Amino acid sequence: MRYFIALEIPEQSRQQLEMVQQKLRSIIPQARLTDNDKLHLTIAFIGEQPEFLKDELIKTLKITTREIPPFVITPAYIDGFPKLHSAHTLWIGVKGDIDKLMVIREKIKDGLESLGLDTDERRYTPHIAIAKINGDFKLEPEQEKKLQELMSDHFAPIYINSIKLFESVPEEGFHHHNTLAKIPLTGGVSERQV
C-alpha cells in the first residue's frame, strides 16, 4: 500500500480554494488542476509499505497526536516546487497555528522513525498542492503579478480537528485517495468527551 498522512481540507474551504484554482487556470492555461476532492495538506509521505503496517501507523498517529488540540490555518500565498518561476507544482502556503502543525509533523516523524521508516529530512513547508505543470514552464512577470493579486482576497480560516492516514491508489495515470483512518485532535481530552 502507498501511505501518506495529511490534514483533510473541509468542504467549505475546498470551495474557496476551487475558485482560486479556476482563476489560476485563466492565468496559467497549461496548469492541470488538482481534483478539488483531493486537496489536502500533507504531513508525511510514507510511500509503498506492506498492508500489515496500517494498524501500527494508526496506533502511532493516535499516540503522537493525543495532546494536540484542534487548530486553525489560513491560505496565505501561492508558491511552487522547485520554485515559483519554474514550477512543476503550484501550491498555496498557509499561516496561522503553524507551530501546532510543526509539532504534529515532528512527533509523527519521530513515530515513523520508531517503526523503522525513513522520513524526509528536507525542510518542511506546509502547503496545499493546487496544480501541476508539465514541460519547461517559466513564469512571466505579468503572470506573477496576477498570482499575487489572486491571493489578495481574504480567505476563511480552515479549522483542523483531525488528521488522516490515506492510501494513494494509482488509477490510469492518476491517483485516488482512500481514507484508512481519521484520528481526532482532542488536545488531551478523551475522544468520548469530544
Whether residue 22 lies inside any domain: the answer is yes
Report the percentage of the chain scoring pLDDT > 90: 74
Average pLDDT score over the chain: 90
186 pLDDT exceeds 50? yes
Whether residue 61 lies inside any domain: the answer is yes
Residue 76 CA neighbour count, 13 Å, CB half: 12
Q: Rounded mean pLDDT of 122-138?
A: 90
What is the Cα–Cα distance from 168 to 3, expressed in whole angstroms? Answer: 6
Q: Which domain covers residue 172, as residue numbers?
A: 2-187
Domain count, the chain: 1
pLDDT in tens, 20-71: 999 999 999 999 999 988 899 999 999 999 999 999 999 999 999 989 999 9
Predicted structure pTM score: 0.88
Residue 194: per-residue pLDDT: 46
pLDDT in tens, 101-111: 999 999 999 99
Whether residue 194 lies inside any domain: the answer is no
Q: Rounded mean pLDDT of 127-138?
A: 91
10 pLDDT exceeds 60? yes
Report the percentage of the chain scoring pLDDT > 70: 95
What is the Cα–Cα distance from 153 to 7, expressed in whole angstroms? Answer: 23
154 pLDDT exceeds 80? no
Residue 188: per-residue pLDDT: 60
123 pLDDT exceeds 70? yes
Whether residue 193 lies inside any domain: the answer is no
Looking at the chain, list the stretches that DSSP marks H as alpha helix, in order from N- to C-terminal side.
Answer: 11-27, 53-65, 98-114, 141-150
Residue of 124, 18, 104 lying closest to 62 (CA atoms):
104
Task: Find out whether the peptide bond into 69 is cis, omega within 30 degrees of 0.
Answer: no
189 pLDDT exceeds 60? no
Question: What CATH number corresponds to the domain at position 165?
Answer: 3.90.1140.10
Residue 172: per-residue pLDDT: 67
Whether residue 192 lies inside any domain: the answer is no
